[in-house]
Each structure stands twice: as structure tokens, then as C-alpha cells.
Chain A
């Protein structure tokens, strides 16, 4: 059954709670262990981004369905500066080793559906789905 919970994202300890709630939702949706790990890790990356670069915000965690399967949907929204150059932001920041990459491209690879909306001065909203 579709249900939604709102999770605050104001401090680091909130990231821990978000991970726990996403893990629970993924378990309840009967996702395999690897899929669970992927969505929780992606959530952690995006939430941390929102906190550090976006000044915090809030998350919406939805237990729902997609293609007839139980799914987890997470929306992370911040009211920060927004991303000026989306293409640049989606470039892999990890492999260059500088660790400053926003982790967006990595997180995208972990989930089944990824959507991002951002504009300079208007904050950023990222939507993650996992159902396989």
C-alpha cells in the first residue's frame, strides 16, 4: 500500500535516520540485499549533498509500486544555491580522485530511475526510485 513519510534533513544525524528508514522501506518492498544496499547508499550520497551543498532540506520517502512491483521512492529537496551547470555536476567526480564530485552520477547508476531538478538560486530536488 502506498504510504509516505517526511524526514527532516537538518543535521548529520538526520542522514543516519534517513538511511535506516530507506533500508526498512527497501526490506519491506522485498528488494534483494544488493538492491537494498544500492538504494540506501544512493540516499546517503544525495542526502549528504543536500546537507552540505544545499544547506539542508527535507526528504519524502514513499513506499509505492512500479511496473507491478513494490518500489521505494525517495525525494530529497533542498533550498540551497542550486546547480548552475547540470552537465558539469553530472560528470563523474570520483575517478578523478579529488573527492569533490557531487556523487550525482554515481548515485544515478545505483538506482532504477533518477531525476533531478535544479536552478541557480532555487535549490535542488532529486528523485530516486528502486524497484528491481
Chain B
């Protein structure tokens, strides 16, 4: 059994790949770990790769929904990528909808989505020579 799911930091985003059978403890640890890292790194987006998952049941579904909800509150967008066709068909039949969770075919497209959907409130711009601001006091 795996001890922990590794979470990778890539710029403003966090990436993680679920490749093993999740059980309660692992899921809880993951949620805690992820939440902590979103805050620590001020991450704006989370990409969850499930391309290795051959089975997604309601337990995993709930876990993904939970991660999405918590991340939203922490102002991070979540996208789930790589769902296998057989899994998608099964989820639809199961009636599990994953509402409010964005999805993409693969990591590349997922990153593209994050790039276009994540807004920065303040953009740090390097000061250039051209637009020297005139100080207010000199009364110019």
C-alpha cells in the first residue's frame, strides 16, 4: 500500500496523479495534504490526473467532489483529466455526475484550461524606463 500521494508544484498550480487503489486513510491524507499545500503555495489551480484509474466508484467520486469544493473555497480551480472511456460510461450509468468539476482529456489540455481560467487579481509588472511615474508632490 502506498503511503502518500505525491503532490507536485508547477508554477501557480498543483499537480497530482492518482494511480493506486484509494482507501479511506489515503483519501483523507490526500485531502489534508492538498488543502495545506494550496494555502502554503497560494496555488490557484489543481490538476488531478486519473488516467491510471480503471475504476472510479462513488467513494472516489465523493473524494473528488470534496476536493473540488474545498479548493473552490480556497480560490483554487480544480480540473480532473484523463478519465478512461469505460470509467466515463460506468459513471454515467451509476448516476454519478461530478457536478461543478471541470474535466479535460489529458494533462496538456488540462493545463491549457487552467491557464485560461485562472485569473490573477494583481499582476506584478516589471517597471520599465518609458513610463516613469511622476511623483505627486512636485506638482507637475
Measured CB to CB, the residues of A under 8 A from B are 12-13, 15-16, 19, 33-34, 36-38, 40-41, 44-45, 48, 92, 94-95, 97, 99, 101, 103, 105-107, 109-110
In the assembly, what is the distance between CA of A34 and CA of B65, in Å? 24
> 21 A–B contact pairs at CB < 8 A?
A13-B23, A33-B86, A34-B86, A34-B90, A36-B86, A37-B55, A37-B86, A41-B55, A41-B56, A41-B90, A44-B55, A44-B57, A45-B94, A48-B57, A48-B59, A94-B94, A99-B58, A105-B95, A106-B58, A109-B94, A109-B95
**Chain A residues with Cβ under 8 A from B99's Cβ?**
97
Instruction: Count A-B contacts at CB 8 Å.
Output: 68
Measured CB to CB, the residues of B under 8 A from A are 1, 21, 23-24, 54-59, 62, 65, 85-87, 89-90, 93-97, 99
**Chain A residues with Cβ under 8 A from B85's Cβ?**
34
**Chain A residues with Cβ under 8 A from B87's Cβ?**
37
**In contact, A19 and B95 (Cβ under 8 angstroms):** no
Mostly helix, strand, loop or mixed at chain A's interface?
helix
Q: Given A92-B95, A94-B96, A16–B21 Cβ distance below 8 Å?
A: yes
In the assembly, what is the distance between CA of A44 and CA of B89, in Å? 16
In the assembly, what is the distance between CA of A19 and CA of B58, in Å? 14
Name the residue on A nearest B56 (C-beta). A41
Question: How far apart are B20's CB and chain A's nearest CB, in angstroms?
Answer: 9
**Chain B residues with Cβ under 8 A from A12's Cβ?**
23-24
Identify the interface centre among B62, B94, B95, B99: most chain A CB within 10 Å of its CB: B94
Name the residue on B nearest A45 (C-beta). B57
**Chain B residues with Cβ under 8 A from A44's Cβ?**
55, 57, 59
**In contact, A106 and B96 (Cβ under 8 angstroms):** yes
Name the residue on B nearest A17 (C-beta). B21
**In contact, B55 and A103 (Cβ under 8 angstroms):** no
**In contact, B94 and A95 (Cβ under 8 angstroms):** no
